[in-house]
Amino acid sequence: MNITWQHLKTDVLVLGSGGAGLCAVLHLMNHQPQPQVFMAVRGLFGKSGCTRMVQGGYNVVLDKKDSLEAHFLDTLKGGQWLNNQELAWKMVCEAPGRILELENHAGCFFDRNPDGTVHQKPFAGQSFDRTVHKGDLTGIEIINRLSEQVAAMENVTIGEEMRAVDLLFDHSGQKVSGALLIDMRLGEFIVVQSRTVLLATGGGPTMYKITAPCQDKTCDGIAMGFRAGATLMDMEMVQFHPTGLLADNSMISGTVLEEGLRGAGAYLINGKGERYMHRYDPREERATRDVVSRSSFMEIMAGRGTPEGGIYLDASHLGAEFIMNNFRGMSLRCRDVGYDLPNAPVVVSPTAHFIMGGMRIDQDCRTDLEGLFAAGEDAAGVHGANRLGGNGVVESTVFGGLAGDTIADYLTEFQEETVEESQIRGIIESTLEPFQRNSSSSIYSLRDRLKKCMWENAGLVRNEESLEIAHNEMKEIREQLSTIALTQGQRAFHLEWMEYLSMKNYLDVCDLIIESAKFRKESRGSHFRTDFPEKDENLPLSNICLSKNQQPQLSPVLMTHLQPDASVSI
């Protein structure tokens, strides 16, 4: 096998170009001397990823009647007290400064009240209307402005349509010193040797049948971190958004209709024409995402769904003018697939949306691997068992910026380390192996089988039997994947090859989700088991941690600021 690669050297390798990666670069460049940065983007710079898809907004304390303590308590309550309180408090405290930075330095312009102050709207799980937004296209505003700033920086090289395969270590095998990439446009390998690596790829639980994230998200960062030996945490906690648009077999199915609709008063209605949320939670449609998603799923499973297998989201009583003025983006998206959001109910379903789990980090975004940092959805701890809507983009921008600050200091401590060539060859040989096989199996049918299994057995509702089914199914799929043959010829834009690499990452992450879900024998937040339907109040609150070749372990949650029965005073 002829193995070749291009070799690049840089100070910092940033994998991902969403809110976390971009803010990290902006903060890096505020330090002297300014480092050389290589930013690898799996899609197109400024046009891909999940931050761009944020509709709802950005939770931040700006009003004098609001408080950091209230935002913090809302976050802990939403996370069912599994949050790392130091990380959650850091996010809440840094958010006001970051939103000003986004406006005054990056150039974002958010919606205003008539008096010129920033408009903040209601969002589920929030005790105060604190969600800053740009209509229902907040993410586009943030990414457009941030990417403009980064694109103009001389010290930053942007590699578009480059996929990271695995992390690389130095000669000692103890320090992460780069990554192996594939230039998808050419089908060629690139070794990026760096003094440090930031994982900011975004999680994206697209291993489920109905899913909301950008389709270039396949949990690459989490899978790479796991294979490299990093400790992962909270992997059983997969968030399902309550209202994903259903549009037959279209790729748009699962796309989120954001929380602001329910915050503004939209109703959820089952197939019998009944509002049903009062049967599950007194907050009704404004309950947290885990509660609303699970309630809708149970209505569907009980035979009270729509003919399409979903439920209805009805905002028509709010008035067509109000809907078009405040939710124009969603209205146009619905119209594209035949729905009339301002005037009639729309068929929706719970949709896999976010992974609360990821790599365990400290307050400076350090993982437990030397040289490896993580921010955004690749990291765990901020959200606990359930993320509040509007807290995701806060986490990405806050911790991305903090990662940039920490990495700038880190660069003064560590010099360049050469990566081991034997590991490069080993990874490339494994990556190219399917081109040497002969098989008639379809990678796409295998992918669909995996997604269906995870949706039915390890999704919104789980139990020991279903998780065991999922475990055995993943084992069979992994065995079949090891026999898959890829079409010979040019590797440029080889979609089957990319799907094969995604499947490898899916399987690693699916195993982690299943293993953690089996280990947590209670229901809490987004993790619901029919055989253990209640919280186990007799056990101390703990996170489930996993690492390569080790059994799951419990890590006690440290109540460094608040106890579960606390008020907002800290």
Catalytic residue numbers read 241, 262
| Residues in CB range of 151: below 8 A, 6 or more apart | 45, 46, 158
Q: Do residues 163 and 182 make contact, with C-beta atoms less than 8 angstroms apart?
A: yes
Measured CA to CA, the distance from residue 507 to residue 484 in angstroms comes to 15
Interstrand relation of 267-269 and 311-314 (parallel, antiparallel or unpaired): antiparallel
Measured CA to CA, the distance from residue 271 to residue 51 in angstroms comes to 33
Quick one: 527 exposed, middle or buried, by C-beta within 10 A (0-12, 13-18, 19+)? buried
Sheet holding 542-546, edge to edge: 379-380, 358-360, 232-233, 542-546, 553-556
Write phi, then psi, for 434 (nearest 5 degrees).
-60, -20
| E-strand stretches of 462-552 | 542-546
| Residues in CB range of 452: below 8 A, 6 or more apart | 209
Measured CA to CA, the distance from residue 407 to residue 413 in angstroms comes to 10
Which residue do the tokens 């050469």 mark? 418
Sheet holding 120-121, edge to edge: 58-59, 131-132, 120-121
Q: How many helices (H) and strands (E) does the chain have?
A: 14, 19
